[in-house]
Amino acid sequence: MKIYAFLLLMLWNVGTLWAQEYKLTLVEAVEQARHQSIAAKQAITQKKTTYWQYRSFLADYRPQLSLDGTLPGFTRSYIEVVQPDGTIAFQPVSNNNSLLSLSLSQSIAPTGGTLYVQNQLQRFDDFARDNTRYNGVPFEMGIRQPLFRYNAMRWDRRIQPLKYQEGMQQYLSSMEEVALQASGYYFDLLVAQVNLQIAEKNRQNNDTLYKIAQHKLELGRISQNDLLQLQMGVLTAEKDLASAQQSATVASLQLNRYIGFRNDRMPELEIPTQLREFVVEPQKAIDEAFANRADAVAFSRRLLEAERDVQQAVKENGLNASLNATFGLSNRGSQPMDVYRKPQDREFVELQFTLPILTWGRNKARTEVAKANREFAQQSVEQDKLTFEQQIFTQVTLLQMLQKQVRLTRLADEIAANRYQIAQERFILSNLSVTDLAIATQEKDRAKRDYILALRDYWQSYYSLRLLTLYDFERREKIWYE
């Protein structure tokens, strides 16, 4: 029995702890979201994608070693053979034609060409005649070089690093976006909890005042109309309480899900009254934004891409040529080693070209379209830069204003709370009307809500400024995440 009672007690204690609210501060909610939220994990995954894409780009400009082959290349069939008299005879064939090639290639970014060396060995088995022959290239060096053509590699070497930097900066922005979203959900719940506290307190106060009013009515010190007004206040408080409970439950679920808490307990939020007041110089904020934000990197990238498209249109609409040249050694024999004994020279040179002569203005039109797109990109980037600067300047001004707003609303909240306390005491002493008491109650509730809303606006502005600049003005350092 003692063991059974002990187990029941333990289960009751666990259930009680589970049902209790857990405390949570704004900083803790933001840090939890940065580590556990789905949005943060997506940002990390995107960062990895950007990193490996850049690694793949760098690998393309390093020597590439590859082994190519055809093993086996067996054929058994009948083929047509033209006879000396012009007739056709179908002769049976049965052979295996295998090939192995080991090559080392290197891209030449300044010219857009490719330099390579290779070793090749071929074996041909004629099963019909029971004959085996070998052919090979012990050594061959060659170059494939476009001439007068658009060099994609040279432009990629300028654009791809910007894309990589843009992706890394976007990761920082995504993490700050997580902080902004988490603070928004935090204050949604905080506002709901404050409304719930106000509704609960008003219900209790209205119930108490209604009971006092009933006693005062018996003494003839209050009218029946005032009593009914207080009774309506009790009913209204009950409805407000039910609505506030529903809103708090929904807001709690949203916050828990976003920051990665997989339970249905409602956190007890702390009001972040410790403001981080600091002076932010607008020009400093703009400079940091252009130094840190992915948007600033994107401005340079967009201009480069527009210039690249113009160069591509110009180059591809004119003379296009390609030079292919190889020099090496080759040989044949009945044994594999015969290929490597006294090989003979092997040379190959080819120059291909295409020169448009009559295009009816098509090439010029393509070039002009690319130039117009470049001009439009320049105008768009300039406009985006102005909008970017204006957005930062507005956010800095807003943050400074909201710091003052929080101080004023906090003072108004204290005054309204003291005034309500005085009004309540005067009503109990029959020295205040029900209407004046209701006005004092409304002002108290409004002042409390205004204070919480001012705090929310301040912290949203604080995290928005961090997002826009990727700079911590409190610590005077750039924002960075591993």
Q: What is the pLDDT of residue 206?
A: 65
Q: Is the pLDDT of residue 430 over 70?
A: no
Distance of alpha carbon 168 from alpha carbon 44, whole angstroms: 10
Per-residue pLDDT band at 104 (split at 50, 70, 90): very high
Q: What is the pLDDT of residue 233?
A: 66
- Cα–Cα nearest to 395, from 475, 271, 289: 289
Tokens at residue 165, please?
Answer: 């930097």
- Sign of the four-CA dihedral 382, 386, 392, 395: negative
Q: What is the pTM of this model?
A: 0.81
Task: Name the least confident of 221-225, 313-317, 387-391.
Answer: 221-225
Distance of alpha carbon 319 from alpha carbon 365, whole angstroms: 17
Q: How many percent of the chain have pLDDT more than 70? A: 88
pLDDT tens-digit readout, 18-62: 344 578 999 999 999 999 999 999 999 999 999 999 999 999 999
- Count the neighbouring beta carbons within 10 Å of the beta carbon of residue 364: 12
Q: What is the pLDDT of residue 37?
A: 92
Q: Is the pLDDT of residue 212 over 70?
A: no
Those residues whose C-beta lies under 8 Å from the C-beta of residue 189, and which sit 6 or more positions away, are 248, 251, 252, 254, 255, 266, 267, 269
Q: What is the pLDDT of residue 15?
A: 39
Q: Is the pLDDT of residue 223 over 80?
A: no
pLDDT tens-digit readout, 334-355: 888 888 888 888 899 999 998 8
Per-residue pLDDT band at 157 (split at 50, 70, 90): very high
Tokens at residue 473, please?
Answer: 């003005």
Tokens at residue 54, please?
Answer: 């850049």
Q: What is the pLDDT of residue 260?
A: 87
In the chain, what is the greatest distance between 2 CA atoms, to the nearest angstrom? 139
- DSSP states of 128-163: TTTEEEEEEEEEEEEEEEEESS--HHHHHHHHHHHH
Q: Are 275 and 406 in contact (CB under 8 A)?
A: yes
Q: Helix (H, G, I), strand (E, B), or coil: what is residue 104? A: strand
> Containing H/E element for 301?
helix 294-316
Distance of alpha carbon 374 from alpha carbon 303, whole angstroms: 7
Q: How many percent of the chain have pLDDT more than 90? A: 51
Long-range contacts of 305-309 (CB under 8 A, 24+ apart): 305/159, 305/377, 306/373, 306/374, 306/377, 306/378, 307/374, 308/155, 308/159, 309/370, 309/373, 309/374
> Containing H/E element for 91?
strand 88-108
pLDDT tens-digit readout, 371-403: 999 999 999 999 999 999 999 999 999 998 998
Q: Are 446 and 163 in contact (CB under 8 A)?
A: no
Per-residue pLDDT band at 444 (split at 50, 70, 90): confident
Helix (DSSP H) and strand (DSSP E) numbers for the chain:
9, 11
* Residue in the block written with tokens 């105008």: 379
Q: Give the residue, 413 or 168, on which the prediction is more confident.
A: 168
Side-chain-side CA neighbours of 402 within 13 Å: the count stands at 25
Those residues whose C-beta lies under 8 Å from the C-beta of residue 253, and which sit 6 or more positions away, are 264
Q: What is the pLDDT of residue 16?
A: 36
Q: Is the pLDDT of residue 292 over 50?
A: yes
When pLDDT is averaged across residues 278-297 and rounded to a whole number, the result is 92
When pLDDT is averaged across residues 159-169 and rounded to a whole number, the result is 95
Amino acid at 148: F
pLDDT tens-digit readout, 261-271: 877 788 889 98
Task: Mark 117-141 as b/e (b = at least 16 C-beta within 10 Å).
Answer: ebbbbbbbbeeeeeeeebbbbbbbe
Tokens at residue 346, please?
Answer: 């092997």
Q: Is the pLDDT of residue 7 over 60?
A: no
Q: Is the pLDDT of residue 192 over 60?
A: yes
Q: What is the pLDDT of residue 218?
A: 58
Q: What is the pLDDT of residue 29?
A: 93
Per-residue pLDDT band at 432 (split at 50, 70, 90): low
Q: What is the pLDDT of residue 13?
A: 41
Q: What is the pLDDT of residue 213?
A: 62
Q: Across all residues in the chain, what is the average pLDDT?
A: 86
pLDDT tens-digit readout, 80-92: 888 888 889 888 8
